[in-house]
Each structure stands twice: as structure tokens, then as C-alpha cells.
A and B are shown apart, each in its own frame.
Chain A
Amino acid sequence: AQSVTQLGSHVSVSEGALVLLRCNYSSSVPPYLFWYVQYPNQGLQLLLKYTSAATLVKGINGFEAEFKKSETSFHLTKPSAHMSDAAEYFCAVSGIAGGTSYGKLTFGQGTILTVHP
């Protein structure tokens, strides 16, 4: 079965510092991976997705993520944090072992990013 682990339920950085949000996955089939962001009282917005075309994926708002099969990781980074990046971030994996997935995603528990001035 697929699973996603996000290390650190809370991450705090200073404005201008590097943002690193960790995601490790477990999948018995070739995975597709996604990062979503959720601002307060809103739904989830797609940041980026890995669909096997390239291991380094660039998304919106200056975020990027690198797929590392050997480490089963898909960490999210941004070189310089901005106050507007404060939100909750979710990593998700698609795929099931057998049958048809129907597009189901397995989500991590989420990481709340706080950005200090």
C-alpha cells in the first residue's frame, strides 16, 4: 500500500531563509507525487507534480522538488522564504497495488510552515 511521511509537523524559518519540507513515500508501483499548499480557511492548491518526465520539478511561487528514487523522497524546497509562504503543505502519492486507482491520492499529515520577519 502507498504511504507518505512528512517529517516535521511544524517548520519555522526566517524570511529570506531556505525552506525545506521533507516528504518520504512508500509505493509498490511507480509513483506519481504531488505537493499541495493550503492557506487558512481555503482548499488545497497544487504546487507541483512529479510524473516521471524529470526528477527536478519546478512549481508555482518559486518552489521546486526533487524526486529521488533511491531515497524514496520528494522534498520541497524554496531558496528564499517569503511571509506569504506561511501555510500548510501536503505531500501526496498516487497509485495502488493492483486494480485501478481512479486517481486516488494518499496524503501525508501535513507540515505547517511559519515564516518569521
Chain B
Amino acid sequence: DVKVTQSSRYLVKRTGEKVFLECVQDMDHENMFWYRQDPGLGLRLIYFSYDVKMKEKGDIPEGYSVSREKKERFSLILESASTNQTSMYLCASSLYGVAGVSSNQPQHFGDGTRLSIL
């Protein structure tokens, strides 16, 4: 079974702090994703990565950055945390699958990090 591990289940930080959320997967997946989940808004993609050191912006990248130095690890960074970044953060990974406009590979999710910014 694929295991995606997020370093913290709950995290409390202060406004202005630099915050690191870590995600590790153990199945040699090429693709990794960071989402935030808010009530009524579903899952929104922040950033994703399809290879080591490769990254692309998702739908809501403002205020975030990412790092992927090793294939199994994908870090989300809040450069200067603000209260509107209080949310549930979910990491996911998937196999590259068949190249092209669609992928038949499901994403596998971690248990999430509930982040509160005070």
C-alpha cells in the first residue's frame, strides 16, 4: 500500500512566521501535490511537482512556495504566515502514468495537517 506521511497532524503558528509542512511518500511516485481544504470550497491545488526540482503553480499559489530536493519528499512553505492561511493542508502523490492530457493514475493522500495561524 502507498503511504503518504505528513509530518504533523496539528500545527499552531504565529502571524509572520515562516512555516514548513513536510510530506514524504514511499512508493517512488513522480507526481506530488499540495492542496488546502476549506469548508464549502473543496480542495484547491496550491502547487504540484512532477519530478525532482520541478514545480508548477496550482490554482492558489500566492503566499506559498515549495521545495522538492528528493523524489520522495515535497515541502510546502508559508513564507510569512497570515491568519487567512489557517486551513487543512493535504499532500498527495501519484504515479506518472501515461503521458498526455489525462492520467488514469489516482492520487494517494496523507492524513492532512490542520494548521492554525494566530
A-B contacts besides A9-B40, A43-B92, A46-B108, 9 pairs, CB < 8 Å: A34-B106, A41-B114, A43-B4, A43-B90, A100-B99, A100-B100, A101-B102, A103-B103, A108-B42
Asked if B16 lies at the interface with its beta carbon under 8 angstroms from chain A, I say no
Tell me what chain B mostly uses at the interface: helix, strand, loop, or mixed.
Answer: loop
Q: Is the CB of A102 within 8 A of B50?
A: yes
Instruction: Confirm or deny: A117 has a beta carbon within 8 angstroms of a beta carbon on chain B.
Output: no
Q: Which of A25-33, A61-69, A70-78 contacts B (4 or more CB under 8 A)?
A: A25-33
Closest-CB distance, B57 to chain A (whole angstroms): 12
Q: Please, how many angstroms separate the alpha-carbon atoms of A99 and B106 in the complex? A: 19
Partner of A103, one of B58, B94, B110: B94
Residues facing A in B75-118 (CB within 8 A) are: 90, 92, 94-97, 99-112, 114
Contact residues in A for B92 (Cβ distance below 8 Å): 43-44
A57 to chain B, nearest CB (A): 12
Contact with A along B39-83 (1 / 0, CB 8 A): 011110100101000001010000000000000000000000000
Interface flag for A42 (CB, 8 Å): yes
Q: Which residue of B lies closest to A106 (CB)?
A: B45
- What residues make up the interface of B, taking CB atoms closer than 8 Å to A? 4, 9, 31, 33, 40-43, 45, 48, 50, 56, 58, 90, 92, 94-97, 99-112, 114
Per the bound structure, the CA–CA distance linking A61 and B90 in Å amounts to 23
- Chain A, residues 97-117, CB within 8 Å of chain B (1/0): the string is 111111111011110000000
CA distance A107 to B84 in the complex (A): 22
What are some 24 contacts across the A-B interface (CB < 8 A)? A9-B40, A29-B102, A32-B102, A32-B103, A36-B109, A43-B92, A43-B109, A44-B90, A44-B92, A44-B107, A44-B109, A45-B109, A46-B106, A46-B108, A90-B42, A94-B102, A95-B102, A100-B100, A100-B101, A101-B103, A103-B31, A103-B33, A103-B96, A103-B97
